[in-house]
Amino acid sequence: MVDKSNLPLPTTTTTGRFFYLSHDKLQLIFFFTLASLFSTLVITRLIVATEYKLHYPYSINAFQLGFGWLALRFLGPKQTHVSPSTRFLLPTVGVYTALLGVKPIFLTHVPATSYHLFLAAAIPLTLALSRVVLTSERSSQSLHILPCLVFWIGSWISTWNSHTPSTSWQGLSLGLLHAFLVASYSILANHTMATVDIGIMIRYITGLGSLGMLVFVLLSGEWQGPLPYFWNDLGFWFQMMLSGVLGLGVNLLGIMLIRQTSPLTYIMAIGTKSCLQTILAAALFGNPLSNMYAAGIAITLSGAGSYFYITSRQS
């Protein structure tokens, strides 16, 4: 059987041309990290600092994914057929929806300065799942062990003396669950792209993910809050549309990064983004950082930089 994981996308489709615009791995890592950081800051500013101050994460995710699906439906490339292998999408869509459902709870119970700690926990999970699901990834993992170890050690040093959720069983459980879902999503997305067209995959993840968020909206009781009062506000819908487009762009770059590099690179990139987000928050808002935390962050970023350099040198 021919291994399809390394076959190029058809160049006759708009989707294929889009996902192969850049062959520079380091450039792709940089753009994904920068875009995800920018998107997080903008969406947080829109949701928290505007007049709406909406604390309805599931409803907001549902709106954002809905706008993303509409953008793909009407502005993206036309799909002339549905691949019979779309059944392989169901595990990926399920894990992605579960990740969106767990993330708001994770962000509530875990301090922002400790996000990268649990993303570091996703590294061994990704390595283990890669050996089980992605046999083609085994040969390249040995070169990345040392940078991953440095990243992991730096993450622990940065939170060693701080009040982290490691002392709370609830926070620890949520952190590990979030790490497992992030690792599983990156692995399943990579595995799915070997048999399913990326354009179909993005549409299914976005469309079914929005429907999954509606289930969380009903279960969480968000639909009973003051959210309906904003439905006739044009500013609210513009905000949702803008954040939806930003989120879609980050998801596209994330899929592109997983495809061009590996799931482990995706994990390292979002971990780097979390570290940079903490540094930027300290610089802009004066959030205090201890010397131990700063040293740990520096070690973490050095491990990430070494990893990205090794990745960029691989063919």
Judge whether 179 lies within some domain: yes
C-alpha distances in angstroms, 43 versus 39, 49, 66? 6, 10, 16
Which residues span the domain enclosing 62? Answer: 35-313
Q: Cα-atom radius of gyration of the chain, to the nearest Å?
A: 19
Question: 91, 189 in Cβ contact below 8 A?
Answer: no
Judge whether 117 lies within some domain: yes
Which amino acid appears at position 94 of this protein? G
Predicted local distance difference test score (pLDDT) of residue 76: 66
Predicted local distance difference test score (pLDDT) of residue 17: 47
Predicted local distance difference test score (pLDDT) of residue 13: 45
Predicted local distance difference test score (pLDDT) of residue 201: 86
How many structural domains does the chain have? 1
Judge whether 9 lies within some domain: no
- Here the tokens at position 61 are 């995710």
Question: 160, 292 in Cβ contact below 8 A?
Answer: yes
Judge whether 15 lies within some domain: no
Judge whether 17 lies within some domain: no
- Here the tokens at position 163 are 């009040």
pLDDT tens-digit profile, the chain (315 residues): 444 444 444 444 444 444 444 458 889 999 999 999 998 888 777 666 655 556 778 888 888 888 888 888 877 666 655 554 666 788 899 999 999 999 988 888 888 778 888 889 999 999 888 887 766 555 556 678 899 999 999 998 887 765 444 457 787 888 899 999 999 999 999 988 888 888 888 888 998 899 999 888 888 877 776 566 677 778 778 877 888 888 888 998 999 999 998 999 999 999 999 999 888 888 887 777 888 888 999 999 999 999 999 988 876
Residue with tokens 């294929």: 16
Judge whether 114 lies within some domain: yes
Judge whether 58 lies within some domain: yes
Question: 148, 123 in Cβ contact below 8 A?
Answer: yes
Separation CA 221–CA 223 (nearest Å): 5
**Residue 156 buriedness (CB in 10 A; 0-12 / 13-18 / 19+):** middle
Predicted local distance difference test score (pLDDT) of residue 47: 63
Judge whether 168 lies within some domain: yes
Question: 201, 92 in Cβ contact below 8 A?
Answer: yes
